[in-house]
Chains A and B, each alone.
Chain A
Amino acid sequence: GQQLNQSPQSMFIQEGEDVSMNCTSSSIFNTWLWYKQDPGEGPVLLIALYKAGELTSNGRLTAQFGITRKDSFLNISASIPSDVGIYFCAGHSDDMRFGAGTRLTVKP
């Protein structure tokens, strides 16, 4: 299936700053997922969202399932160097689609 529109493609931020990234689609999804991938590793699930409007936190991470069911965002507050990596969104309805990833660099 067509990939999701994820932005930004990359971010360079200073340690301590907040980060925001989002995914949009022309299709409706029943589930939104956010993953983080470190170099040489497999993706690790950060947050799973199952209902429109749902807002879920996991430590410094917060994600929301858009009310239209066509978008989702992920926020990271007070970034630290170990937040470096590629963040992927994924949406599932009849099939599973992924965003192209947001590559995050955090400067100490």
Chain B
Amino acid sequence: DTAVSQTPKYLVTQMGNDKSIKCEQNLGHDTMYWYKQDSKKFLKIMFSYNNKELIINETVPNRFSPKSPDKAHLNLHINSLELGDSAVYFCASSQFQGSWGTQYFGPGTRLLVL
């Protein structure tokens, strides 16, 4: 069984569109994250949620809005997509906040904005 799953795996869309990426974890973890990996492979944390509450909100445009309907799900909605949003977005989870040693990543969503 997949521990952290994301959909879709690939997303190609036009500039200006709104899109969502979904993430689910079946590990019973309390904390979930969104990361962005650019074309140079730089990884950067975007958001962290602990038990559905926003904990970390790095400097990310407010076009990006995470939503956690329950602690097993953390979705990412992006409004008015821009070319620079093209990247791989990874969801991750950890047992609880700060337990980095228990962190698992999803397979990534490859977003291409044309």
Compute how far the CA of A50 lies from the CA of B102 in the bound complex, rounded to whole angstroms.
Answer: 13
Residue of A nearest to B108 (CB): A42
Determine whether the beta carbon of A42 is less than 8 Å from that of B90.
yes
Compute how far the CA of A40 lies from the CA of B92 in the bound complex, rounded to whole angstroms.
Answer: 15
Contacts of B92 in A (CB 8 A): 42
Asked, given contacts A3-B42, A43-B43, A101-B41, whether A92 binds B100 with beta carbons under 8 Å apart, the answer is: yes
**Minimum C-beta distance from A38 to chain B (A):** 10
Question: Out of A1, A33, A100, which one reaches B40, CB within 8 Å?
Answer: A100
User: When each residue 27-38 of chain B gets 1 if its CB lies under 8 Å from chain A and 0 otherwise, what string results?
Assistant: 000000000000
Number of A-B contacts (CB under 8 A): 46
Compute how far the CA of A41 lies from the CA of B103 in the bound complex, rounded to whole angstroms.
Answer: 15
Residue of A nearest to B92 (CB): A42
Contacts of A73 in B (CB 8 A): none
Contacts of A40 in B (CB 8 A): 107-108
Contacts of A42 in B (CB 8 A): 4, 90, 92, 105-108
Task: Tell me the count of chain A residues lying within 8 A, CB to CB, of chain B.
Answer: 22
Compute how far the CA of A1 lies from the CA of B107 in the bound complex, rounded to whole angstroms.
Answer: 24
Question: Out of A33, A37, A41, A98, which one reaches B100, CB within 8 Å?
Answer: A33
A residues near B (Cβ < 8 Å) are 1, 3, 31, 33, 37, 40-45, 48, 50, 86, 88, 90, 92, 95-96, 98, 100-101
Question: What are 28 A-B residue pairs whose CB atoms fall within 8 Å in the complex?
Answer: A1-B58, A3-B42, A31-B100, A33-B100, A33-B103, A40-B107, A40-B108, A41-B107, A42-B4, A42-B105, A42-B106, A42-B107, A42-B108, A43-B90, A43-B105, A45-B100, A45-B101, A45-B104, A48-B101, A50-B101, A90-B100, A92-B100, A95-B45, A95-B56, A96-B56, A98-B42, A98-B44, A100-B40
Going nearest first, the 9 A-B pairs with the smallest beta carbon separation are A42-B105, A48-B101, A98-B43, A96-B45, A101-B41, A42-B90, A43-B105, A42-B108, A42-B107
